[in-house]
Amino acid sequence: MNFPPALRSAGVSLLAFFLFAASGGNGGAAAPALVEVYALRHYTHPNFTRIVVDLGELREYTYGELHAPDRLFVDILQAQLNPILHGQSYALAAEYISQIRIAQRDRGIVRLVVDLDFGNVKSYRIYYLPDPFRIVMDIYPGRLPEAETKEPSPAEPKDEPRARPAEPSAGGYSLARQLGLGIRTIVIDPGHGGTDPGCVGRRGELEKELVLDVCLRLRKLLASVRDLEVVLTRETDIFIPLENRTVIANQKKADLFVSVHANSSLNPQRTGVETFYLNLSLDPAVDEIAARENATSTKSIGQMKDILAKIIRNSKIVESRDMADKVQHCLVASLSRSYADVRNLGVKGGPFWVLIGSNMPSILVEVSHLSNAKEAARLKEEAYRQKIAQGIYDGLVAYMQSLGKPPAMK
């Protein structure tokens, strides 16, 4: 059964890689046996609700939103539901969630559904935890209970955000979260430049010019965050080798690296926005994008072993994926307020040169397709580029907040 890319979970690319490796790389190998979903747990905390599905063995999953009525769903593939759980529903005493349901949707597909009110939900995260393998959904309300929203005392000025414990990322509490680390420097990388125009639209639109404008707008928005240094790898139309962009970030001792690009596809009908983090991929669509974005690399095939080792040893995958999740979610939300047909192509891992070698969590954002006439026309609009910058900004702020370090505004 084919699912649209918009329903891909952040962990799907990594899971698919593991499943492929486990089969010995044999594309014709028999499909894995169905694994049993044996437990469903839920907890309503003062600040959020957590739902956990236990299945014990690695399985791919997809998720998405449904409306009228509002629902979140997770489809677990190659799975069967313990008969005790089939058709079960659980009422929740939360203002923003009414009930949780789980059932065998199809042969080999178990579906979890959460009935909620998106108007009362600030954000949500769906991720997996290993050993034993389980899928976790965290849902955060739009407003905290009254006890949490009272006016600050005189000793706690209203404009000074309070530090709080970090939220768990997709892989739990990473070392950055255990140590209570925050964000002081962000490097923004406008893709391409100079002799490398990037993608070129049918009417001559140049990726290098459009993404530079987006990044300048993003820097202006980030200037509202106090004590945050924002550095651009280029501020004018100059060429910077792919390998040197993360060198700039490393020299600046940056905490985050964000590379901004406009997309292109052999299919002129393809539209949407997507966000990547550094990882291996088995997705042909991701491979096409990586091949295009890596075209100016100066590395040779003889260096492939070292390159693969860098990707596999990448210790920032968990944080990069979490940042990618938040940026993608906020970017789609920002654009969707004015453009109802924006496609969410999701978050994926990919082997992008511009992310290899970074010493910090890093992502690559493809903000729209210059190969599609409608999106190319939109990218020429200042209002559209401003909404792109706003969405990336909102995602970065959400990521900083998840670290337990709410940014202070000027």
169 vs 279, higher pLDDT:
279
So what's the pLDDT on residue 293? 46
Q: Which residue has the higher pLDDT, 273 or 163?
A: 273
Ranking 53-62, 216-225, 352-361 by mean pLDDT, the lowest is 352-361
**Cα gap 285→348, rounded to integer Å:** 10
pLDDT value, residue 148: 44
Could you report the per-residue pLDDT of 227-281, keeping only the tens digit for each?
899 999 999 999 888 778 888 888 888 999 999 999 999 999 999 999 988 875 4
Contact 364, 392 (CB under 8 A): no
Superfamily of domain 185-402: Zn-dependent exopeptidases (3.40.630.40)
What per-residue confidence (pLDDT) applies to 177? 60
Could you tell me which CATH number the domain at 5-17+32-150 has? 2.60.40.3500
Mean pLDDT is lowest, of 57-71, 128-142, 170-184, 275-289, for 275-289
SS3 content of the chain, % helix, strand, coil (to 5): 30, 30, 40
Burial class (CB in 10 A: 0-12, 13-18, 19+), 171: middle
% of the chain exceeding 90 in pLDDT? 42
Q: How confident is the model at residue 1 (pLDDT cuts 50, 70, 90)?
A: very low
How far apart are alpha carbons 405 and 116 in whole angstroms? 28
Residue range 93-116: mean pLDDT, rounded: 91
Q: How many other CB atoms are found less than 10 A from the CB of residue 17?
A: 16
pLDDT category of residue 162 using cuts at 50, 70 and 90 = low
| Sequence ranges of the domains in the chain | 5-17+32-150, 185-402
Phi, psi (deg, nearest 5) at residue 409: -95, 150
Q: Model confidence over 329-345: pLDDT tens digits?
A: 999 999 999 999 999 99
CA distance 90 to 100: 5
Q: d(Cα 221, Cα 386) in Å, to the nearest integer?
A: 10
Which pLDDT score is estimated for 409? 77
How high is the mean pLDDT of the chain? Answer: 79
Which of 172-186, 187-201, 321-335 shows the lowest mean pLDDT across its residues? 172-186
pLDDT higher at 310 or 372: 372
d(CA 12, CA 34) in angstroms, rounded, equals: 18
Q: Tell me the C-alpha distance between 408 and 374, whole Å.
A: 38
pLDDT of residue 164: 61
User: Is pTM beyond 0.95 here?
Assistant: no
Tell me: the pLDDT tens digits for 14-72? 444 444 444 444 544 555 688 888 888 888 887 889 999 988 788 888 999 999 999 99
pLDDT, tens digit (0-9, with 9 covering 90-100), for 106-121? 889 999 999 999 999 9
CA distance readout (Å), 352 to 114, 261, 290, 345: 35, 12, 6, 17
- The tens digit of pLDDT for each residue in 358-387 reads 888 899 999 999 999 999 999 999 999 999
